[in-house]
């Protein structure tokens, strides 16, 4: 079989054409896909009580829309231009190699899995991810393209085969903005923090975010699809510094200490090493993940300026089937802030720093 024959059979054009070109190709393609899905069923069925229900592709789980083979029938090698593709499919999810390569991504449901039974059972969607990639020559005319889908391999693996050495994904805008307000409804129980010898007067000083670009404002992360494609920005109603300060203040007040502007016994300042969200996609879930890392500096004025550092870290995740929503991002960051408050409440050393001073009484308290 010569090169001309390969091109005529469209073997180098699409993943389906590559594997199943020529007469009877569609039947062989269907047969192989069924065999692969059956193999997945066999593997998963080795787990006790596992049930696999394969279904026709349905429900868009990620991406802006599906691109069927009928949608790409108009493509012609050496004739179709980059502008033709953009007009037909819109802005791509990724642009590589100085805009010579365009990539579109989407994910659909291809079945369901269930493990266990009765009250201990669990289950989820079996996703199938698709990548549609096109490469253009220096004159902007179509050089090659590929539409591939898989329930086994990650889209990143297929994308890397098309990525030129040293090429990086350019920064680009998101499709959506998600705004959350993760402040806990109430502080944690006072715990050790409330067992001080007596309440103290405290002032909350400067809090700063380490290494953050001040131009980002309230941006705390992104909702990402496969191969790192940003589909939404996640922002907070107030800067993260204000959110952390509010939670620290509320927890100290819940322990019986008094917030003052002047004449404090203790001054609390802080550094935020991490405050943000991200996402993770695995075989069956698309998770929202929140992380927090806060360092408090406690200056005891009554003890000749002695300083102490207390560090609180938290990380929480929320699994979803169709992708994290505003509620999921708000849930994980609120859980992180609540975790910080619980750690403060149980921190005996922090309690000693606050309640162990020998300052005189304050009659106006």
Structural domain boundaries in the chain: 3-160, 177-355
pLDDT computed for residue 285 by the predictor:
82
**CA-CA distance, 317 to 137, in Å (whole number)?**
43
Q: pLDDT tens for residues 10-64? A: 222 333 333 333 334 443 444 444 444 454 454 444 444 566 777 777 777 777 7
Q: Which of 58-72, 124-138, 207-221, 351-365 has the lowest mean pLDDT?
A: 351-365
Question: Which residues on adjacent β-strands are paired with residue 316?
Answer: 290
| Range among 11-20, 65-74, 92-101, 268-277 with highest mean pLDDT value | 268-277
Which class for 64: exposed (0-12), middle (13-18), buried (19 or more C-beta within 10 A)? middle
How many residues would you count in the chain?
365
Q: Which of 135-149, 151-165, 237-251, 295-309 has the lowest mean pLDDT?
A: 151-165
Query: What percent of the chain has a predicted confidence (pLDDT) above 90?
Result: 35
Of 351, 340, 244, 251, residue with least CA distance to 308: 351
Give the count of alpha carbons within 13 A of 21, CB side only.
15
Read off the pLDDT of each residue in 177-202 and give the average, rounded to a whole number: 79
Q: Which of 151-155, 185-189, 329-333, 336-340 has the lowest mean pLDDT?
A: 151-155
Tokens representing 317?
A: 């995740």
Q: pLDDT tens for residues 241-288? A: 999 999 999 999 998 899 999 999 899 999 999 999 999 987 678 899
More confident residue, 1 or 321: 321
Read off the pLDDT of each residue in 163-181 and give the average, rounded to a whole number: 64
> Is 105 in a helix, a strand, or coil?
strand
pLDDT computed for residue 34 by the predictor:
47
Other Cβ atoms within 10 Å of 276 Cβ, number = 20
pLDDT computed for residue 155 by the predictor:
64
Q: Are 220 and 233 in contact (CB under 8 A)?
A: no
pLDDT computed for residue 105 by the predictor:
81
Task: Render the burial of 224-254: b for 16+ CB within 10 Å, e for the rest.
Answer: bbbbebbbbbbbbeebbbebbbebbbbbbeb
More confident residue, 271 or 177: 271
Average pLDDT for the chain: 76
Cα-to-chain-centroid distance, residue 107: 16
**CA-CA distance, 154 to 59, in Å (whole number)?**
19
pLDDT value at 146 more than 80: yes
CATH code for residues 177-355: 3.40.50.10610
Of 67, 49, 335, residue with least CA distance to 185: 335
> Is 337 in a helix, a strand, or coil?
helix
pLDDT computed for residue 148 by the predictor:
85
Tokens representing 307?
A: 């300083």
Q: Are 231 and 322 in contact (CB under 8 A)?
A: no
pLDDT value at 66 more than 90: no
């Amino acid at each position: 079989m010569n090169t001309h024959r390969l091109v005529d059979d469209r073997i180098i054009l699409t993943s389906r054409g590559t594997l199943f070109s020529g007469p009877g190709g569609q039947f062989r393609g269907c047969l192989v896909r069924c065999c692969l899905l059956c193999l997945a069923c066999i593997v998963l069925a080795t787990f006790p009580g596992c049930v696999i229900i394969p279904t026709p592709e349905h429900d868009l789980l990620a991406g802006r829309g599906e691109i069927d083979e009928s949608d790409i029938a108009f493509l012609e090698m050496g004739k179709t231009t980059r502008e033709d593709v953009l007009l037909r499919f819109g802005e791509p999810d990724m642009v590589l190699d100085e805009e010579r390569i365009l990539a579109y991504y989407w994910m659909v449901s291809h079945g369901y899995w269930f493990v266990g039974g009765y009250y201990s059972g669990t289950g989820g969607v079996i996703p199938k991810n698709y990548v549609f990639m096109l490469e253009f020559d220096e004159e902007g005319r179509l050089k090659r393209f590929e539409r591939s889908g898989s329930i086994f391999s990650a889209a990143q693996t297929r994308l890397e085969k098309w990525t030129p050495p040293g090429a990086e994904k350019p920064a680009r805008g998101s499709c959506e903005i998600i705004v959350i307000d993760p402040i806990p409804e109430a502080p944690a129980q006072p715990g050790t923090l409330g067992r001080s010898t007596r309440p103290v007067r405290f002032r909350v000083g400067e809090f700063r975010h380490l290494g953050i670009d001040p131009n980002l404002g309230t941006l705390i992360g992104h909702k990402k699809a496969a191969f790192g494609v940003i589909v939404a920005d996640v922002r907070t109603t107030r800067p993260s510094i204000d959110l952390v300060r509010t939670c620290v203040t509320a927890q100290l007040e819940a322990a019986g200490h008094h917030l003052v502007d002047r004449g404090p016994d203790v001054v609390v300042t802080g550094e935020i090493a991490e405050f943000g969200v991200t996402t993770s996609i695995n075989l069956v879930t698309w998770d929202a993940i929140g992380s927090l890392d806060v360092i408090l500096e406690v200056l005891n004025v009554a003890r000749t300026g002695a300083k102490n550092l207390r560090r609180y870290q938290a990380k929480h995740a929320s699994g979803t089937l169709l992708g994290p929503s505003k509620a999921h991002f708000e849930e994980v960051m609120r859980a992180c802030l609540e975790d910080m408050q619980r750690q403060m409440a149980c921190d005996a050393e922090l309690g000693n720093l606050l309640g162990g001073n020998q300052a005189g009484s304050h009659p106006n308290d």
